[in-house]
């Protein structure tokens, strides 16, 4: 955790904000879920004491969703209360499609009590436009990403050109109707499109932010900030990095290609 705070401080010095994520998922016992909740409470306190610019991201399966929805809500409530007391924000990550409906249900219930919570929508899912419309109506803060899990054609768009097309459609709705959307992508064509769309529609650069992964294309991240846009860096850390990393690479060949093509780019 100390190393994560140090990494955020360095990002802040370059004009970038962060979102810290303690790695872990699919917890099936309460003792492990409790440690995860306590870890996030400690992390929020450390962020506050260090006075760094960072929020946090959580996965519901790490906080007990596989144990039970009500139990998970109790745990996330603790994290949100801690974040609210420290004037911070919590982003609930989206996981694979078996969890989509349950994640949205938990989020929408918590959002009625906690304005400091946001959600993630994956552009490659066929259902995402309907979800985006509902979230906009609820005044939710949404991070839009392409999607990294392996999903069948019946649930998700498979061709990258079509995923990009849907991403733009969803981003257009979020940029014109949403609440401070996060455009999470390393795709140059989508970054260029977002900049041009915002300019064409007189959308101020402080009404949205770009998001990228820690250590991937740092030169581009800093260049976007120099151009006057906001950039938040997603910083996962912790002891469970190996299973998380290899699981993501095994799930979709596109994830391997993403790492290969972006790791050494500026």
**Active site positions, annotated:** 93, 143
233 neighbors 221 (Cβ within 8 angstroms)? yes
Nearest to 46 by CA among 9, 72, 11: 9
Tokens for 121?
């929508």
- The C-alpha atoms of residue 104 and residue 117 are separated, in whole angstroms, by 12
4 neighbors 235 (Cβ within 8 angstroms)? yes
106 neighbors 65 (Cβ within 8 angstroms)? yes
- The C-alpha atoms of residue 229 and residue 17 are separated, in whole angstroms, by 12
- The C-alpha atoms of residue 266 and residue 216 are separated, in whole angstroms, by 8
């Amino acid at each position: 955790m100390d190393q994560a705070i140090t990494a955020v401080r360095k990002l802040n010095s370059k004009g970038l904000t962060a979102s810290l994520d303690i790695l872990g998922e699919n917890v099936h016992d309460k003792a492990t879920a409790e440690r995860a909740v306590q870890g996030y409470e400690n992390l929020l306190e450390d962020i506050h004491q260090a006075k760094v610019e960072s929020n946090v991201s959580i996965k519901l399966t790490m906080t007990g969703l596989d144990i039970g929805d009500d139990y998970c809500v109790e745990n996330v409530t603790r994290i949100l209360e801690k974040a609210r007391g420290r004037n911070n924000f919590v982003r609930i990550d989206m996981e694979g499609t078996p969890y989509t409906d349950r994640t949205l249900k938990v989020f929408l219930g918590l959002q009625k009590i906690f304005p400091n919570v946001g959600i993630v929508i994956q552009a490659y899912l066929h259902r995402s436009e309907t979800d985006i419309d509902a979230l906009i109506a609820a005044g939710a803060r949404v991070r839009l990403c392409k999607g990294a899990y392996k999903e069948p054609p019946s649930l998700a768009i498979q061709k990258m050109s079509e995923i990009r097309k849907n991403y733009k459609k969803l981003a257009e709705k979020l940029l014109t109707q949403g609440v401070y959307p996060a455009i999470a992508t390393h795709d140059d064509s989508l970054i260029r499109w977002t900049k041009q769309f915002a300019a064409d529609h007189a959308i101020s650069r402080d009404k949205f932010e770009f998001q990228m992964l820690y250590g991937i294309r740092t030169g581009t991240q800093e260049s976007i900030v120099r151009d006057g846009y906001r950039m938040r860096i997603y910083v996962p850390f912790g002891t469970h990095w190996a299973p998380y990393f290899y699981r993501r690479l095994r799930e979709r060949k596109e994830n391997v290609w993403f790492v290969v093509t972006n790791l050494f780019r500026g």
